[in-house]
Amino acid sequence: MDIDHTYEAIVIGTSAGGLSALTALLSILPSYYSLPIIIVQHRSKDHQNLLEEVLQSKCLIKIQQAEEKESILAGVVYIAPPNYHLLIERDYTFSLTSDEPVNYSRPSIDVLFESAALVYANKLIGIILTGTNRDGSEGMSVIKQYAGLTIAQDPKEAEFPAMPLAAIQAHVIEQVWQLAEIQKFLINIHADNEKR
Amino acid sequence: MNVESKEIKQLLQSILSAYGYDFTEYAEASVRRRMSLFMSTRKITAFPDFAHLLLRDEMIFEQFIQELSVTVTEMFRDPDFYKSLRDHVIKRLATYPFIKVWVAGCATGEEVYSIAILLKEANLLDRAVIYATDINQRSLQIAKEGVFPIDRMKQYTQNYQHSGGTESFSDYYTSKYDSVLFDKSLRKNIVFSSHNLAVDKSFNEFQLILCRNVLIYFNQQLQNKVINLFYESLCPFGILGLGNKESLLFSEKKSFFDDVDRKEKIFIKNI
Ligand SMILES: C[S@@+](CC[C@H](N)C(=O)[O-])C[C@H]1O[C@@H](n2cnc3c(N)ncnc32)[C@H](O)[C@@H]1O
């Protein structure tokens, strides 16, 4: 696929099966990746930093938990903390909220994706990976509405197909790809950004 | 919700002039989200209609405040925080002849009863007064009554035990149908009142201030302003407890506080 304009941020949502899918995508990225990557992985509130530590042990790129009102920087992977929703402000900082769970989830993928779409509009890439509920479909529809790029992991490959499938059935997904294709795409947009 | 920042700012400004409620320094992404939820439950599709309605109809505005002031809370929320209070803060409080505590942004009061239980178990409740404040009148009313749904008690009992509580938690309340009423003895030294952190001044001097999961709804400037207010309202070596994800990062008073427990966001005013 031709990449016809610069992207500024990537958001990823996943639930069950997410750890291995995220590891597959993030472990191939260089330490100086040219975009910020912001992730909601449904997680238990009993393990405060485990996810970040496990991912960091397998990746070159810097992995950290998103912090309240922190500025978003390229080359960092931010993960939503357990038990808070993660939102993006117009000045490219994070806000956390303890609002009610959405789709039984806090953090919720929909909440992150909707606020990211408003800020990054057509410069945003949304990726939905393996998972068990339908969180993320609404958010993907907003990303699409703002002309961002929407990608779902191929449900045939996904460990838990329900979540990418729900987004696909909502007709808000442009590309249905296997992890290997998503990997290639992530490397390509980085290479492309470097050329500019 | 496809609305320019400018329009949201204008509406918040008009709300301030019309009603005296200042939401202009709230974190925009979250205000926007609450507005959008409010509009969709009331089937309002156009933002100008929504703005017009809020400014014209005070009843609707009251309902909107309910939507905006997120009341999500629980007893002994983040049990490790309360454990740390038991381990590091209670014995400091015990050195004062008279203890004043401020719970700012107390929502429906679960946090207030939790701190009352902590004080009671340390035999300090009789010489303590807890001021519990919020902007949300309806929440304050619920807090005052001290009646909570019975189906939350299982979780609260677990939280209580994780926080190091060793009494029988159910001794603190009596059940009736599907709710529980917390003991009068816990309530007698609690003063519930309305206070708006964005505009109201300091009203006393405290040995302990808790303000948890409120600052996250504010932008950096308002966070700074509110920390200044707490700084003014704390006695020398007074204790400030914030929410799990909150910090003094955006505060010009940062260097006037030391960590009591960095992880649990418990600070001590160092002068
Ligand atoms: C998420 S609740 C937190 C409740 C409790 N402190 C806890 O941590 O469980 C946030 C509370 O902050 C209150 N609040 C919001 N803006 C406020 C303001 N300007 N002044 C006082 N309270 C405010 C809301 O009404 C709400 O009750």
Coil, strand or helix: which one is B96?
coil
Q: Is residue B22 part of a domain?
A: yes
The amino acid present at B260, given as its one-letter code, is: V
Rounded to an integer, the average pLDDT of B186-191 is 95
Structural domain boundaries enclosing A149: 9-195
Q: Is residue A33 part of a domain?
A: yes
CA pair distance B76, A29, nearest whole angstrom:
41
CB B142 near ligand 1, within 6 Å: no
Do B113 and B209 fall within a single domain?
yes
- How far apart are the two ends of chain B, measured CA to CA in Å? 47
CA pair distance A151, A113, nearest whole angstrom:
13
Q: Are A102 and A138 within 8 A, CB to CB?
A: no
Identify the pLDDT of residue A2.
53
Omega prior to A107 cis, within 30 of 0: yes
Which ligand 1 atom is at minimum distance from the Cα of A98?
1
How many structural domains does chain A have?
Answer: 1
Inspect the interface and report whether the beta carbons of A114 and B28 lie closer than 8 Å: no
| pLDDT at residue A8 tops 70 | yes
pLDDT in tens, B82-123: 999 999 999 999 999 999 999 999 999 999 999 999 999 999
- Could you give the residue numbers annotated as active site of A? 15, 42, 135
pLDDT in tens, B72-90: 999 999 999 999 999 999 9
Closest chain A residue to the Cα of B67, Cα to Cα? A99
Do B120 and B211 fall within a single domain?
yes
| pLDDT at residue A196 tops 90 | no
State CA B63 to chain mean position distance: 19
Q: Is residue A116 part of a domain?
A: yes
Helical (H) or strand (E) element with B115: helix B110-121
Ligand 1 mutation target, pool B134, B163, B210, most atoms within 8 A of CB? B134
Inspect the interface and report whether the beta carbons of A84 and B27 lie closer than 8 Å: no
Rounded to an integer, the average pLDDT of A21-50 is 94
Question: Which CATH number is B246's domain given?
Answer: 3.40.50.150
The 3 state secondary structure assigned to A96-162 is EECCCCECCECCCHHHHHHHHHHHHHHHEEEEECCCCCCCCHHHHHHHHHCCCEEEEECCCCCCCCH
Longest dimension (CA), chain A: 43
* Confidence band, pLDDT 50/70/90 cuts, at residue A6: confident
Inspect the interface and report whether the beta carbons of A96 and B245 lie closer than 8 Å: yes
CB B65 near ligand 1, within 6 Å: no
> Which ipTM did the prediction report?
0.93
Do B38 and B112 fall within a single domain?
no
State CA A38 to chain mean position distance: 5
pLDDT in tens, B208-267: 999 999 999 999 999 999 999 999 999 999 999 999 999 998 899 999 999 999 999 999
Question: Which CATH number is A171's domain given?
Answer: 3.40.50.180
Structural domain boundaries enclosing B209: 79-269
Rounded to an integer, the average pLDDT of A104-124 is 97
Longest dimension (CA), chain B: 58
